[in-house]
């Protein structure tokens, strides 16, 4: 049973002592503290006021197997009793770590046969940064140091993560990006290619990568990094053919291809990994979130044998974290993957719930506020516009309508994110048809309620 918390006191203490992530602390103070989430079950979270909310965000794009999985609790407790911690620095390792590496290698398949562990998605991308540069140095091409990424990409919140990412508002804090990261346009058809042929638009976006490679000099470019689907950027689905073009460009200039699968991994797009959905083969795959369904912090990098063979010529790779390969997190991740397999959640997302979500979202298309709906697997988005048939935004600038609709959705019992004027969702992979109907029904109701508010602006 959930504990009987003194919610008012917790809120007071929250304001007084707690500094929440990526947040305006003054705003939280003015609100009298954050919403306190006390417990959760299946696809629903419950807050301190007793509101039961459908979690359309799976926590933060991560609780793929849903809340309340007793066997994950048990496996964590068992592992803690047996061995709560040991490191991988002292020529030592623990059983769950080895077994999880093997499991991940079997899921990524092909040349991605080696796994490096970290505790977060950001750390996984820091690992990319150091591993890729070290690789090129050992390979005798030390000038290859430049990473190419995309504007509006999200690769984490550490110095390397923010730098690799393309969030300008994050770059503004901390004098980032660090040198050696180049950003090119994103394949965001609705926002930046509206009215153009989508396939041609995708080709143009890929061509921008090649153009930048030539400007920087191919001999200086180390890797291209991208999320198969940009999540935090607003669920940006690449146009058909985009990733094939990107892959061909990387191969043409001998540049490593990194697929950041932190959100797309573990069934989200209807395959184990987003690169499998989009049909391309990366050299390094950072992953996190769905790896443990968020039950414990853990991330990993699947790495190609070719890269590992080169790194093996260089002695120690002096990189790694105290919690690299944490045995409890690894044991939970292993069992989490077992649950995804046992319940067939990947195929169910591809063949059943994913198409069902797409059909349900399509019913919103005729709403006067909706410019586009899109989804792949169980990750989707609704674009809010001022005029049907256009991509014109309310108030003439992005970010007016999104927060209004998002807040109405939450008040109506659905947790979603509003990214600029895009409502995004990625529910747990266990979501049922009835819960998908509720999810889309609450968005429809919230759009109806938002319309007069927006008209009155």
Point out which residues bind ligand PXG (CB under 6 A).
Answer: 60, 120-122, 125, 154-157, 161, 227, 231-232, 260, 262-263, 288, 417
**Closest separation in Å from C-beta 196 to ligand PXG:** 26
Distance separating alpha carbons of residues 76 and 71, to the nearest angstrom: 8
Closer by beta carbon to ligand PXG, 193 or else 231 = 231
Please confirm whether the linkage preceding 145 is cis (ω < 30° from 0).
no
**Closest separation in Å from C-beta 22 to ligand PXG:** 6
| Separate counts of helices (H) and strands (E) for the chain | 18, 15
Closer by beta carbon to ligand PXG, 33 or else 161 = 161
Closer by beta carbon to ligand PXG, 156 or else 454 = 156
**Closest separation in Å from C-beta 5 to ligand PXG:** 25
Closer by beta carbon to ligand PXG, 36 or else 60 = 60
Q: At 88, phi and psi to the nearest 5?
A: -115, 20
Closer by beta carbon to ligand PXG, 161 or else 282 = 161
Closer by beta carbon to ligand PXG, 60 or else 308 = 60
Closer by beta carbon to ligand PXG, 102 or else 322 = 322
Burial of 111 (0-12, 13-18, 19+ CB in 10 A): middle
Cα 207 to Cα 211, 279, 298, 429, distances in angstroms: 6, 19, 35, 35
**Closest separation in Å from C-beta 124 to ligand PXG:** 7
Q: At 361, phi and psi to the nearest 5?
A: -65, -35
Distance separating alpha carbons of residues 362 and 348, to the nearest angstrom: 20
224 forms beta bridges with 148, 257
**Closest separation in Å from C-beta 242 to ligand PXG:** 17
Distance separating alpha carbons of residues 327 and 308, to the nearest angstrom: 23
Distance separating alpha carbons of residues 374 and 391, to the nearest angstrom: 14
Closer by beta carbon to ligand PXG, 428 or else 454 = 428
Residue with structure tokens 């061995």?
Answer: 83
**Closest separation in Å from C-beta 324 to ligand PXG:** 14
**Closest separation in Å from C-beta 202 to ligand PXG:** 20
**Closest separation in Å from C-beta 273 to ligand PXG:** 12
Closer by beta carbon to ligand PXG, 225 or else 454 = 225
Closer by beta carbon to ligand PXG, 328 or else 454 = 328
Q: Listing from the earlier edge strand, what are the strands of the sheet with 44-47?
A: 37-41, 44-47, 52-55, 414-415
Longest Cα–Cα distance in the chain: 66
**Closest separation in Å from C-beta 344 to ligand PXG:** 25
If DSSP codes are grouped into helix, strand and coil, which group holds residue 77?
Answer: helix
Instruction: Enter the tokens of residue 380.
Output: 């989707």
Instruction: Enter the tokens of residue 259.
Output: 């697929």
Instruction: Give residues with Cβ within 8 angstroms of 241, minimum separation 6.
Output: 199, 202, 203
CA-based nearest residue to 275, from 317, 310, 242, 250: 242
Distance separating alpha carbons of residues 169 and 202, to the nearest angstrom: 25
Question: For ligand PXG, which residue has the nearest CB?
Answer: 121
**Closest separation in Å from C-beta 262 to ligand PXG:** 3
CA-based nearest residue to 295, from 341, 337, 267, 350: 337
């Amino acid at each position: 049973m959930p504990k009987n918390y003194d919610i008012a006191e917790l809120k007071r203490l929250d304001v007084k002592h707690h500094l929440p992530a990526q947040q305006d602390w003054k705003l939280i103070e003015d609100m009298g503290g954050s919403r306190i989430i006390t417990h959760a079950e299946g696809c629903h979270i419950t807050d301190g006021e007793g509101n039961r909310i459908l979690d359309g965000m799976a926590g933060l794009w991560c609780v793929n197997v849903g809340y309340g999985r007793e066997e994950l609790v048990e496996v964590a407790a068992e592992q803690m009793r047996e061995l709560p911690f040991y490191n991988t620095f002292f020529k030592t390792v623990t059983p769950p770590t080895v077994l999880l590496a093997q499991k991940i290698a079997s899921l990524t398949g092909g040349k991605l046969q080696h796994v490096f562990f970290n505790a977060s998605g950001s750390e996984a991308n820091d690992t990319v940064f150091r591993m890729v540069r070290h690789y090129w140095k050992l390979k005798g091409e030390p000038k290859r140091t430049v990473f190419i990424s995309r504007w509006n990409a999200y690769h984490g919140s550490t110095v390397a993560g923010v730098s690799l990412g393309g969030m300008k508002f994050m770059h503004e804090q901390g004098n980032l990006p660090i040198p050696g990261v180049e950003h090119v346009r994103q394949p965001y058809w609705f926002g930046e290619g509206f009215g153009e042929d989508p396939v041609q638009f995708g080709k143009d976006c890929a061509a921008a990568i090649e153009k930048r490679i030539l400007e920087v000099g191919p001999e200086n470019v180390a890797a291209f990094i991208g999320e198969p689907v940009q999540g935090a950027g607003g669920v940006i689905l690449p146009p058909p053919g985009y990733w094939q073009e990107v892959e061909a460009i990387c191969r043409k200039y001998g540049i490593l291809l990194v697929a950041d699968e932190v959100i797309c991994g573990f069934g989200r797009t209807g395959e184990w990994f987003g690169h499998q959905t989009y049909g391309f083969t990366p050299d390094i795959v950072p992953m996190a979130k769905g790896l443990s369904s968020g039950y414990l912090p853990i991330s990993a990098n699947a790495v190609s044998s070719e890269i590992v063979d080169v790194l093996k010529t260089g002695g120690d790779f002096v990189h790694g974290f105290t919690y690299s390969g944490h045995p409890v997190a690894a044991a939970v991740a292993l069992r989490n993957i077992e649950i995804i397999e046992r319940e067939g959640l990947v195929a169910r997302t591809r063949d059943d719930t994913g198409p069902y979500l797409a059909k349900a979202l399509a019913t919103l298309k005729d709403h006067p506020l909706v410019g586009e709906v899109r989804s792949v697997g169980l990750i989707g988005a609704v674009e809010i516009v001022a005029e049907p048939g256009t991509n014109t935004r309310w108030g003439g600038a992005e970010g007016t309508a999104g927060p209004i609709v998002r807040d109405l959705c939450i008040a109506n019992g659905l947790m979603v994110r509003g990214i600029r004027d895009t409502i995004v969702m990625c529910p747990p992979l266990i979501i049922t048809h009835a819960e998908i109907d509720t999810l889309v029904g609450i968005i429809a109701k919230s759009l109806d309620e938002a319309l007069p508010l927006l008209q009155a602006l």
